[in-house]
């Protein structure tokens, strides 16, 4: 990426924020992010910036600016109170206890992580920042946009086509079929109507937020992927998407090779959007700075600025005039410096012989000028003496 030497903001590598997940290790909490996400983000030209899942960090997210993209992935169940409405399942305490026994680790609600990720998702929705949600990240995006979730697929999705969405005995190897919707980004990347995807979840999208369109379905009808068609154009920095499966982990057994080339293309296109978004931000910032500079110089250079602001005191007017004079003088000074630099560059192009001749010429001119000055200095004295004598004679 080519950047201007004097533009610090454009030297920043595109930044993708990723929220860590907290786990207990050796009686201490440890925050982590899956390495596959980090590797893919870096390999396509962006830098992952990890947002730690720390109490209170949701109120400090402005410290992570500039934000050029957000990737949310992995984590426990989203707090049901965040999306409860008239469609709320209302599972009985007995059913919830059954679910808790099967999915004990996932059902631990992490409200701080919820708060951090919902804040980031809504920020991306408001500011058109590229966003990719994987698994839990797709659920967060749907909730942030006004959608709802199934608290437990097995208990709530009633269908003749039962689909196993998690297999603890064959965690990474488990796959189920997904039907891809034509003329969607997923169809473009995978170039197939049916693919086998991995699955690590017991919750999923129930009511899809209005702005989104489905990209893939599981056999039981559960949405496996969605996007905002009005916010998808990586070349222009637009990307807003959620995937229930984990493309970064869809790899051949005992290998780093992906099940499908489309798995890597998802991250490639996401980072492309991140890079384009950053360029747009930098260009917009530069244009705004130029506009403000021109306005400032024009305001200080024209007297009508002062005449229009009649509420200014005399002291303020004088101060503004002084500042205007400073701006004008600095412009003149810069022009002189530029001419001096041009003259120096011209001199550097001359040969040593030419420079020697030029130096001899200037020495000769200096002597001639010195002699002429001496004669000029003597002339007024002679005339004064002559005038005094004439006056006395008179």
Phi/psi of residue 187, nearest 5 degrees: -65, -35
- Choose, from 37, 58, 68, 246, the residue flagged as catalytic: 246
Please state the rounded mean pLDDT for residues 127-155: 95
CA terminus-to-terminus distance, the chain: 90
Give the span between the Cα atoms of 318 and 304, in whole angstroms: 14
Chain segment 182-227, per-residue pLDDT in tens: 999 999 999 999 999 999 889 999 999 999 999 999 999 999 999 9
Does the active-site annotation cover 248? yes
183 Rama sector, left if φ>0, alpha if ψ -120 to 50, beta otherwise: left
- Choose, from 135, 165, 176, 202, the residue flagged as catalytic: 135
Which domains does the chain show, CATH number per domain? 15-282 (3.40.50.880)
Does the active-site annotation cover 246? yes
Instruction: Record the tokens describing residue 195, joined without a space.
Output: 């693919």
Please state the rounded mean pLDDT for residues 79-85: 84
Length of the chain: 394
Percent of the chain with pLDDT over 70: 82
Does the active-site annotation cover 86? no
- Choose, from 201, 248, 263, 269, the residue flagged as catalytic: 248
DSSP 78: P
Residue 312: is its pLDDT beyond 60?
Answer: no
The reported pLDDT for the residue numbered 69 is 97
DSSP 150: E
Instruction: Record the tokens describing residue 161, joined without a space.
Output: 């086509």
The reported pLDDT for the residue numbered 31 is 81
User: ω into residue 66 within 30 of 0, thus cis?
Assistant: yes
The reported pLDDT for the residue numbered 197 is 96
Q: Is the pTM of this model over 0.75?
A: no
């Amino acid at each position: 990426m080519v950047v201007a030497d004097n533009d610090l903001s454009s030297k920043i590598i595109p930044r993708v924020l990723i929220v860590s997940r907290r786990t207990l290790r050796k009686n201490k909490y440890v925050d982590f992010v899956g390495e596959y996400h980090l590797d893919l983000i870096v390999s396509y030209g962006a830098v992952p910036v990890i947002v730690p899942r720390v109490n209170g960090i949701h109120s400090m997210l402005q410290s992570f600016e500039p934000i050029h993209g957000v990737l949310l992935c992995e984590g426990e169940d989203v707090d049901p109170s965040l999306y409860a409405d008239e469609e709320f399942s209302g599972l009985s305490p007995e059913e919830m206890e059954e679910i808790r026994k099967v999915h004990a680790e996932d059902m631990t609600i992490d409200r701080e992580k919820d708060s951090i990720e919902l804040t980031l998702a809504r920020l991306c929705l408001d500011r058109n920042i590229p966003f990719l949600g994987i698994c839990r990240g797709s659920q967060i995006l749907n909730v942030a946009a006004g959608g709802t979730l199934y608290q437990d697929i097995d208990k709530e999705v009633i269908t003749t086509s039962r689909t196993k969405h998690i297999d603890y005995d064959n965690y990474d190897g488990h796959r189920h079929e997904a039907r891809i919707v034509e003329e969607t980004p997923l169809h473009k990347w995978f170039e197939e109507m049916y693919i086998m995807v991995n699955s690590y979840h017991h919750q999923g999208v129930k009511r899809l937020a209005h702005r989104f369109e489905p990209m893939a379905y599981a056999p039981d009808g559960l949405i496996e992927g969605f996007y905002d068609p009005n916010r998808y154009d990586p070349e222009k920095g637009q990307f807003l998407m959620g995937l229930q499966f984990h493309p970064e982990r869809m790899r051949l057994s005992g290998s780093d090779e992906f099940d499908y080339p489309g798995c890597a293309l998802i991250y490639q296109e996401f980072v492309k959007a991140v890079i384009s978004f950053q360029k747009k931000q930098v260009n917009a910032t530069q244009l705004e700075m130029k506009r403000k500079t021109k306005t400032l110089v024009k305001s200080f250079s024209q007297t009508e600025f002062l005449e229009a602001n009649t509420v200014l005191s005399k002291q303020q007017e004088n101060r503004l005039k002084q500042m205007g004079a400073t701006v004008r003088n600095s412009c003149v000074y810069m022009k002189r410096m530029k001419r001096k630099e041009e003259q120096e560059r011209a001199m550097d192009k001359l040969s040593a012989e030419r420079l020697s001749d030029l130096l001899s010429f200037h020495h000769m001119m200096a002597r001639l000028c010195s002699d002429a000055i001496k004669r000029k200095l003597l002339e007024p004295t002679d005339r004064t003496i002559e005038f005094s004598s004439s006056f006395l004679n008179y």
